[in-house]
Amino acid sequence: MAQQPKATDASAKLAELLKLQVGSLAETIEKEGQNIFGGSNNLLGTDEINDFCIEFLELLVALLQSKDPHDDASPQFHALEMYFNNLSKQILVRGGRVEDLVRYIQFMQRTLIDALGNDKRVTVDDARTMLLFLSGLFNELILAVFQAYLEEKERTVYAQEAELRETATPITEIWDGVLTLPIIGTLDSNRTVLVMEALLNRIAKEHASAVVIDLTGVKNIDSQVSHHLIQMVQAVQLMGSDAIITGIRPEIARALISLNIDLSNVTTRASLSDGLKEAFRRMGILVSKKTD
C-alpha cells in the first residue's frame, strides 16, 4: 500500500507515454492483428481489427488514468476485461483458436514493453513498476479470455448434448394420435429418464392416445432400467394414453422375468407392426387393402 503513490505516478507516466506513441503502437498491434486474424484467416475484417486496437489503447489509457489502476474492481478494469471477453467470443464463434488470441495479447504486452524501452525518460525504477503492472494486468486479461473460451465451449457442449438427446429419442407421430418410440442401444437410468421426459411432453403436445415403445434394438436390460421402463409405461397410462411395448428379445424377456418384473398391466406385442395394429384396434381404426 505504501508503494501506491509511486505506482500511480508510474501509471500516469505510462499513460502519457502511450498517448505520445499511440500512432506507432496502434500500427504495430494492427499489423500483428492482420497477420493473425485478417487476410486468409478471415476471422476479423481490417476495420474491425483497427477499431479493436484503438479501443484497446483507449481503455488501457483510461485504466492508467483512473484513481487506482491496480484496483481490479474498478469500472475501467471491468471495461477492459469485458473488451477482451467480447473479442474472444467473437473470434471463437468465427472458428478462431484461443492460442492465437493469447499470442496476440502477449504481442500487445511485448509491444508496450518495447515502447517503454524506447523512451529515455523512463527510469529503471519506473520501468520496474510499469513492468510489474503490465504483467499483472495482462495475466488478468488472459484469464478473461480463457473464461470466455470455457463459456463458449460449455455452450457448445450443452448444445451438442441437447442435439444428442433429441436424436436419441426419435419420437414420431406415425398416425394421428399414435406415437412410436424405437429405443436403440443400451438403456441406462439417465437415458431412460430423458426418454421418459421427452415422451410425456410429446404425449401432452400431440394429445396422443397410444404410444408404441419398440425395444427391438435394446441389447441389455438391468433391474434398475426395467423398473424405469415400467415407470415409463405407468406414467404414459396416467396421462391417459395406452402404452404398448413391442420387440422384446428373448434374452430381454428372460431377464425381465428373472428380475421379477410384473408385466401384467403392460400390453406387449411381438413386433412394431403388431403394436401398431393393436394401437389402431384400440382407437377403432381399420387399415385394409384397397379392393378394385
Partner 1 sequence: MAIPGLHLTQIGSDNFLLEPTRSLNIRTQDTLIESIVARLQQAGASRLYYDLSEQPLIDPVYYGWLDALARTIQAINVKMVCIHMQPTAAFALSKFMHETPIFETALDISGWQKTGR
SS3 221: coil
Q: Which stretch binds partner 1 (CB under 8 A): 53-61, 125-133, 138-146, 278-286?
A: 278-286
Q: Which residue has the cell 483510461?
A: 62
Q: What are φ and ψ of residue 268, in 5° steps?
A: -125, 150
Count of chain residues binding partner 1 (CB under 8 A): 24
283 interacts with partner 1 by CB under 8 A = yes
235 touches partner 1 (CB under 8 A) = yes
Output the nine-digit C-alpha cell for 274: 403388431
* CB nearer to partner 1: pick between 71 and 166: 166
Which residue bears the cell 471495461?
A: 79
Phi-psi region of 207 (alpha: psi -120 to 50; beta: other; left: phi over 0): left
Contact 87, 100 (CB under 8 A): no
Out of 8, 111, 192, 241, point to the residue binding partner 1 (CB under 8 A). 241
Q: Give the count of beta carbons closer than 10 Å to the beta carbon of residue 203.
A: 22
Q: Which x/- pattern, by CB under 8 A, does the window 184-223 give for partner 1?
A: ------------xx--xx-xx--xxx--------------
Cα–Cα dist 287/155, whole Å: 47
Containing 29, the helix (H) or strand (E) segment is helix 22-37
Q: Which is nearer to partner 1, 78 or 227 (CB)?
A: 227
By CB under 8 A, residue 238 contacts partner 1: yes
Q: Is 23 one of the binding residues for partner 1 (CB under 8 A)?
A: no
Q: Does 15 bind partner 1 (CB under 8 A)?
A: no
State the residues that interact with partner 1 by CB under 8 A: 196-197, 200-201, 203-204, 207-209, 231-232, 234-242, 265, 282-284
